[in-house]
Amino acid sequence: MGTFTTADGTEIFYKDWGSGQPVVFSHGWPLNADVWDSQLCLVAEHGYRGIAHDRRGHGRSGQPWQGNDMDTYADDLARLIEILNLRDVVLVGHSTGGGEVVRYIGRHGTARVAKVVLLGAVPPLMLRTEANPEGAPAEVFDAIREGVRRDRSQYYQELSASFYGANRPGAAVPQGTRDAFWLMCMTVGLKAAYDCVEQFSATDFTEDLRRIDVPTLIAHGDDDQIVPIGAAAQKAAPMVKDAVLKVYPGAPHGLTGDYEEAFDRDLLAFLRD
């Protein structure tokens, strides 16, 4: 584990486990690197170097007032890759982290990147517009901001249900999983959490997706209540040359149990291919 300092003086925390080809994980909102611990162990145990950072404002990283925007997130990721002198990198991004990965490529290219994995990722655009009728209306994201500002602790507890599909009939989501989600959420600074809603909802990643020129796995659950597949993976896949779209029937946004095991198998297979 370590830290590095960004151009604007923000300290970023990261984990660095194992050795071999680097696999860099970017987490979703409003979580931190801990959400990737199982996958970090998985890749490290199979001969790869697993790395994951806490996005600025999240977890153990600094909580600056400024810089809570997608371009800066991408530049922070670039700084991590440069500081560790990583090459032949596999970038893995979940949800907002998928946007961070795609914007990194849009701004910094693929000179250091070997492969990309987007899991339940927000690109190309979550917000409903005239050109993007599949997106969610602005009122949905206004409600998220209101929940975060009004009582973020209660909001995050409630959000864990739809995040993991615990609100579906017959769902068996461990309470510990939901508690861990809440705990990670509560480490995010209020300003960062609030600002990030606009970034994951209103950022258009269309041109960034078109710049991806390395093998790409796009994985998504078809019962994702947070980032519905129709506005995300199903639109993103045709924009990325030769992308492979993997759909997990019945899977929610946050993968647990059999769904997580399926993704882990697909991730390892994609790394080895």
Say how many C-beta atoms besides its own lie within 10 A of residue 243's C-beta. Answer: 18
- Strand residue runs (E) in 64-213: 89-94, 113-119
Can you tell me which residue has the tokens 């579906």?
168
Catalytic residue numbers? 95, 224, 253
Of 136, 123, 111, nearest to 26 by C-alpha is 123
Q: Whose structure tokens read 């600074």?
A: 189
17 membership: H or E segment, kind and range: strand 11-18
Residues 6+ apart with CB under 8 A from 161: 167, 178
207 contacts 183 by C-beta, under 8 angstroms: no
Burial pattern 226-235, b for ≥16 Cβ within 10 A else e, equals bbbbebbbbb
Question: β-pairing, 113-119 with 89-94?
Answer: parallel
SS3 80: helix
Q: Cα separation of 118 and 109, whole Å?
A: 16
- Please report the beta strands in the chain, taking only residues with DSSP state E, as ranges in sequence order: 2-5, 11-18, 21-26, 48-53, 89-94, 113-119, 216-221, 244-248
